[in-house]
Amino acid sequence: MPDLDVDLTDSVLRLTLNRPDVLNALTGEMSLALAEALEGVNARDDVRVVVLTGAGDAFSTGADIGGEQAHERFGADAMDVAARMVRGIVASDTPVLAAVNGIAAGVSCSLALACDVIVARDSAAFLLPFARIGFMVDGGASATVAAAVGRARAMRMGLLGEPLSAQEAHDAGLITHVASSAEYDDVVATLVRRLAAGAPLAQAATKRAINAATLAHLDAALDRERSGQTLLMRTADVAEGMRAFSERRRPAFRGE
């Protein structure tokens, strides 16, 4: 599809979110196509590494919440597709590398942080701004962020919606690599080559072992996020948050 570029070259499957004019905000169709691409990796013998990235100056700002029908796009179906994307990354026997070239926000931040190797340009940032419009974190972030950086930092990111610079994310243990703009492409290419040349059976076993040790409760977290988000979607606070976003103003939440 035009908004998700899928390219297989030299056993590297590159999945590029391609809506640079809106900072690669995810539509429902993009999310479904990405979920299907990730879920299909284990059935392929021509892929040794998956690279997830964004076109232009951003990784992705998350779900597209622009337009009059935006509120309707946050239903249970959208949550199910988000869970499929995350499970596709974690369940893949093949290493998945996130090449974070710019801002990674919302569910797209969650996707990046679910990847096995996360390389960020030093100008990038990671943001979970769900609370700013009355939602809770989703995309498995309630599990993956806490597993990586602990409860306190996860609460700070989730409740306050504070962005972390790429360097801060690296120093906190949230991502694996940070590189200057001048070195970023070379760092990504080097890591992709190393992963593609690695021992596939050992890589798969390593992924399964580390994920079992650190993300044993991921499925439960995704289920809680789905239930919580579905309930929140019906609240007046979320309606106010979405209006405020569209009107570029601060929301007035009432706990309703």
Residue 100: its H or E element: strand 96-100
Question: What percent of the chain shows pLDDT beyond 70?
Answer: 96
Q: What is the pLDDT of residues 174-219, one digit of tens each?
A: 999 999 999 999 999 999 999 999 999 999 999 999 999 999 999 9
**117 membership: H or E segment, kind and range:** strand 117-121
- Model confidence at 2, in pLDDT bands (50, 70, 90)? confident
Distance CA 233, CA 240 (A): 11
The reported pLDDT for the residue numbered 217 is 95
Per-residue pLDDT at 77 exceeds 90: no
CB 172 within 8 A of CB 149: yes
Helices (H), 10-75: 28-39
Distances in Å between the Cα of 130 and the Cα atoms of 41, 146, 149, 162, 177 are: 30, 16, 19, 11, 25
Residue 154 has pLDDT above 70, yes or no: yes
Half-sphere CA count of 89, side-chain side, radius 13 A: 27
Mean pLDDT computed over 24-35: 95
Q: What is the pTM of this model?
A: 0.95
Query: Binning pLDDT at 50, 70 and 90, where does residue 67 land?
Result: low
Distances 190 to 72, 122, 146, 205 between C-alpha atoms, Å: 42, 17, 29, 22
Please check the confidence at residue 10 and state whether its pLDDT lies above 90. Answer: yes
Check pLDDT > 80 for residue 71.
no
Of 60, 6, 2, nearest to 36 (Cα)? 6
pLDDT for the residue numbered 72: 52
pLDDT bin (cut points 50, 70, 90) of residue 22 is very high
pLDDT value, residue 14: 98
Query: Given a cut of 70, is residue 68 above it in pLDDT?
Result: no
Burial 66-96 (b: 16+ CB within 10 A, else e): eeeeebebbeeebbebbbbbbbbbbebebbb
Helix (H) or strand (E) holding 6: strand 4-9
Query: How confident is residue 65, by pLDDT bands cut at 50, 70 and 90?
Result: confident
The whole-angstrom separation of Cα 105 and Cα 203 is 28
Over residues 211-249, the pLDDT tens digits come to 999 999 999 999 999 999 999 999 999 999 999 988 999
**Region label for 176, one of left (φ > 0), alpha (ψ between -120 and 50) or beta (otherwise):** alpha
Q: What is the mean pLDDT of residues 118-128?
A: 98
Torsion angle in degrees (nearest 10) through CA of 113, 141, 35, 57: -50
Task: Write the burial class of residue 213 (CB in 10 Å: 0-12 exposed, 13-18 middle, 19+ buried).
Answer: exposed
**85 within 8 A of 38, measured Cβ to Cβ:** yes
Q: Which of 62-66, 112-116, 151-155 is predicted least confidently?
A: 62-66
Residue whose token pair is 């306050």: 160
Number of Cβ within 10 Å of residue 204's Cβ equals 15
Longest dimension (CA), the chain: 55
